[in-house]
Amino acid sequence: KPWYSYIGINFNSPKVTVYLPKTEYNTLTIDESTGDVEIPTDFKFKEMKIDASTGNMMISASVSGNSEIHTSTGAIRIEDTSAGSLELSTSTGDIVLTNVLCDGDIKTDVSTGRNDLTDVKCKNLTTDGSTGEIVLTNVIATGEFHINRSTGSVIFDGSDANEIFIDTS
C-alpha cells in the first residue's frame, strides 16, 4: 500500500486481550494506566497484584493467597470466587463483592464511593471510607468487623461477626 494509506484518525480505544491456557499460575501482576481489567473464573493464581490509575476491575478468578487490587479511579468487582485474603482500595469508585469465600481477612479502602458486600464469608473484615455508604448483606466474619466511615450510612442485612466495631462521624 502507499505510505499515505497508513495515516488516519482513529477514535476507537485500544484493547489488549491475552489468552493463556486454563491452569493454575503462581503470580499475576498487572500495572496499567488507563483501561479495564477482566479476569474470568477459568484461572487460578497463588497471588494477584493489580495497580491501576483509571479503569474498572472485574475479577472472578480464584486466588489461594493474597490479592491486592488498587485503583485511583474506577470500580472493583469481585464475584463468584474464593481467595486467601483481599486488600482492595480505590480513591473514586465502588467496591463490590458478591459470592466471595475468603479464608483470611478482607480489607477495603474507599475515599469516595460505595462498598457493597453480598454473600461474603471471611475471617475479619476491615473497611475504611471517607464518603459513601457500606452495605453488608449476608456477610459473615468468624472474627471481627471494623467499619470506619466519615460520611455515609452503614447498613447490615443478615450479617454478623464475633465482634463488631463501627466508627462514624
Which H, E and C letters describe 127-158, residue by residue?
EEEEECCEEEEEEEEEEEEEEEEEECCEEEEC
Tens of pLDDT, residue by residue over 78-121, are: 999 999 999 999 999 999 999 999 999 999 999 988 999 999 99
Average pLDDT, the chain: 89
Q: Is 52 within 8 Å of 29 (Cβ atoms)?
A: no
Tens of pLDDT, residue by residue over 25-35, are: 888 999 988 88
Q: Is 152 left (phi over 0), alpha (psi -120 to 50) or beta?
A: left
- Global pTM reads 0.86
Flag whether pLDDT at 4 surpasses 80.
Answer: no
- Cα–Cα nearest to 141, from 169, 114, 164: 164
- Cα–Cα nearest to 110, from 96, 100, 122: 96
Confidence of residue 43 (pLDDT cuts 50, 70, 90): confident
